[in-house]
């Protein structure tokens, strides 16, 4: 997901996106623990997406 796509979303949509990403992260962690995940790079991608969303939330809060 690109930051430009996220910038178009409002606060509620960013919050929902963050919740979805955290659920995906939890699911990936469980798959790693049970050795069901073959592509472990997915976890890093989700972590970076979470960081992007949190950064944009912080920018919007600072702009107020």
**pLDDT of res. 1:** 77
Per-residue three-class SS string for the chain: CCHHHHHCCCHHHHHHHHHHHHHHHHHHHHHHHCCCCCCCHHHHHHHHHHHHHHHHHHHHHHHC
> Is residue 64 pLDDT above 90, yes or no?
no
Tell me, what's the pLDDT at 54? 95
Fold of domain 3-63: Helix Hairpins (1.10.287)
Q: For residue 9, with 0-12 CB atoms within 10 Å meaning exposed, 13-18 middle and 19 or more buried, which class applies?
A: middle
Instruction: Note the pLDDT tens digit of each residue in 3-59.
Output: 888 889 998 999 999 999 999 999 999 999 999 999 999 999 999 999 999 999 999
Going 5 to 28 to 18 to 46, the CA torsion angle's sign is negative
In this predicted structure, what is the pLDDT of residue 58?
95
Query: What integer pLDDT is reported at residue 62 of this predicted model?
Result: 93
Q: What is the CA radius of gyration of the chain?
A: 13
């Amino acid at each position: 997901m690109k930051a430009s796509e996220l910038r178009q979303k409002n606060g509620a949509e960013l919050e929902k996106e963050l919740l979805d990403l955290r659920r995906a992260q939890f699911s990936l962690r469980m798959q790693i623990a049970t050795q069901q995940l073959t592509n472990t790079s997915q976890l890093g991608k989700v972590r970076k997406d979470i960081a992007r969303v949190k950064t944009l939330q912080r920018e919007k809060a600072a702009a107020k």
